[in-house]
Amino acid sequence: MGIELTVLDSRFTLMIVIIAIAGLIYAVLLARQTMKHPTTGGDADRISDAIRTGSNSYLRKQLTSIGVMVAILAAILMMLPTHQPEGFPSIRIGRMLAFLMGAGFSATVGYAGMNIATRANVRVAAAANKSFGEALKIAYRGGTVAGMLTDGLGLLGGIIAFIIFREWAFEVLLGFGFGGTLIALFYRVGGGIFTKAADVGADLVGKVEKGIPEDDPRNAAVVADLVGDNVGDCAGMASDIFESYEITEVAAMILGLAAFPPAIYGFKGVLFPLMVRAIGVLSSIIGTYAVRLRGERESAMKAINRGYTTSALASIVGFFILSFFYMQGLTDLNTGLAVVWWKFPIAVMAGIGLAISTNFLTEHFTSTESEPVKGMSKACQTGAATNILEGIAVGYESSVWAVISIAVAIFVSVIIFGSLGVTAFYGVALCGIGQLTLTGNNVAMDTFGPIADNAQGLAEMSKDDYFTPQAKNVLADMDSVGNTTKAVTKGIAIASAVIAAVSLFRSYIELPLLLGGELLVLDLSSPLIFIGLLVGGAVPLLFASISIKAVGKAAAKMIREVRRQFAEIPGLWEGTADPDYERCVSISTRAAQKELLPLGILAIATPLLVGFLLSSAALGGFLGGAIIVSQLLAVFMTISGGALDNAKKSIEDGLYGGKGSDAHKAAVVGDTVGDPLKDTAGPALNPMMKVINLIALLVGPLILQVSLIDESLLFNPTPLGIAIVIALTAVIAFAMWYSKRETEDII
């Protein structure tokens, strides 16, 4: 059946399976280690249990609500046309099962990683009473659980599809990637709306109107805020990185097949990116143990960066050894020239270089020690408007540098192969593989943020005397570092999404060739393709608009509810009565669930409408426009929001009058403006741009058959094409109407 594996290919396949399973075992061991650490045994345990219960309840409701859509899409995948090679298992069934597996793996990564994080928070809080180093170790290793699950499950899914379908695995893996991306989209959007509705409501009423601390137990929205940190940053980011991990694998395998046909070279082009990922799993394990303080005065950020650097160096050594022994004897199909083995690790290293440069740029623009954030803190002295303007300017500037760093990485990946053929784009896919090689570290850095944030919240909300002033200072320092690590990983997620989307974009062009047709040619001088480019560029703006409006509507309900409780619950202000935390959790939960539908429809239906209405070539233009604008917009929103957040924290640490001052109130307003940018709309563009690319790849063959305009740009309608266009137009119109309606108050 199909092309036989060489002896070396077989050995590498087995090795990948073993390393994937080892990554999962390591995640279990880390989870058990985390759970062995003691809790506070006091009030913080009770609050931590409430946070975990609220987080699990929300995710269960979310998974239930999107289960119907997953089932419908699985059925549709079974009906889409595909090439069925003789002697192979059914591609349609395999693609549908892979879709369900990808969705299941993505949901598992988010759910399991979040569960460990919600158990780690109270243990980190307890450890802060002992030492900074112990608290840091527990927080980072607790976050690494989600990272290793991402590594292990992502690698396992890719290799299982390869073992069963060999050279046709790419068809099946499109379903795997789509399943993971779809769950990530809903996790990201829903979690982002949930967390920012609670955060904005808690801050505006608590800090600005009432002048009380951030995690004051009298504020009814604080538990919802702490729950939101977990569903937004733990579950949302883990599934986001997981689907980027999947997508870069899919793109690299498609381009590896096209660049180095397995009938000639074996499966080197397909297995090499999987082996690179396997090396990354081992390197992430090594790097975990380098994250420890060298003296209590060392900063947590320095220790975390040391772990990342250790993993990167270990990976680079592995890449060169692998390439030297495996990637010999290959030829560029376009030029006929030999492809020297060292070019492959250089392309992968370009991705690692992009990750490191993203770390540096994000830390520069968002760290409390950086000049941009110091300038924003200073601007708070003259009011919220000047603070927000400074934040907007910082976000715009950061977008420029992010584009330059991505462009340099792509240029290096392409230029080393000496041509602009498919081999060069294989190099771009390897760049994406390299950037997410250290996924274990990336997800650990992100999950560290909400663990530290929750731990500080537990210390502030506890009514007993368990926490010493020194412990509270330790947790405050960790929370500040966590803000930076979350911003860094959001930057990495955006850059990885762009590289993955660029690779998928080329895969979309190559796919007809792999299926026995002709290479798709995109000519920007064509009016229809340029229309596709314009519409594609507009969609991310509309997506962001709907996301931010959703947060605004939900936050308004939260504000009214918190105000109501302060006014109507006797003894609440005096601290003799408890607020109704569950009511605020319900508001965020219900608002997030209601706003998922229009955003999901927009991401799925819009590229289909362009393709069926204007041709597959116009859809190619649409993909290009969406990638460019999504990257610029996502970086702008993420960096500006992160910088506004840390400007607030700088003032809360004592600058310009500290907490309760006019500068602090201005900073809080700026932070609440930045919150939905950095934690909802910005991150949600990552899965959105990959959803539209995967939709194009999956439905591309059907678009070629029934598009209203054929490839020669002549109007050539078919009854099925007309019906599909009318149906898609109606669905998108419904989504737009639904996004603008006012949901009923939950009172």
pLDDT of residue 518: 60
CA distance linking residue 567 with residue 146, whole number of Å: 41
Q: pLDDT for 577-631, tens place per residue?
A: 888 888 888 888 888 877 778 888 898 999 999 999 988 888 888 998 999 999 8
The pLDDT assigned to 551 comes to 87
pLDDT at residue 514 in the model = 56
- What one-character-per-residue DSSP string does 316-379 give? HHHHHHHHHHHS-SEE-TTT--EE-TTHHHHHHHHHHHHHHHHHHHHHHHH-TTSHHHHHHHHH
Can you read off the two tokens belonging to residue 22?
Answer: 């080892």
Residue 747: per-residue pLDDT:
38
Residue among 392, 389, 342 at smallest CA distance from 365: 392
| Assigned token pair, 77 | 């995948």
Distance, CA of 138 to CA of 67 (rounded, Å): 34
Which residue ranges make up each domain of the chain?
7-740
Alpha helices (H) in 204-267, listed in sequence order: 222-229, 236-259, 262-265
- C-alpha span between 245 and 431 (Å, rounded): 12
Residue 26 pLDDT: 95
Reported as half-sphere exposure (CB side, CA atoms, 13 A), residue 129 has a value of 15
Widest distance between CA atoms in the chain: 82
Burial class (CB in 10 A: 0-12, 13-18, 19+), 622: buried
- Rounded Cα distance, 455 and 44, in Å: 9
Residues of the chain scoring pLDDT < 70: 1, 296, 510-521, 710-713, 742-747
User: Residue 511: its pLDDT value, please?
Assistant: 64
Helix (H) or strand (E) holding 598, with range, is: helix 581-614
Which among 192, 103, 144, 106 is positioned nearest to 683, based on CA atoms?
Answer: 192
C-alpha closest to that of 184 among 242, 101, 250: 242
Q: Would you say 484 and 638 are in contact if contact means Cβ atoms under 8 Å apart?
A: no
Say if CB 189 and CB 685 are below 8 A apart: no
For residue 623, what are its two tokens? 């993909």
pTM, to two decimals: 0.87
Structure tokens at 465: 């005397």
Q: Is 261 exposed, middle or buried (0-12, 13-18, 19+ CB in 10 A)?
A: middle
Distance, in Å, from the CA atom of 114 to the CA atom of 120, rounded to the nearest integer, reads 10
Do residues 98 and 171 touch, judged by C-beta distance below 8 A? no
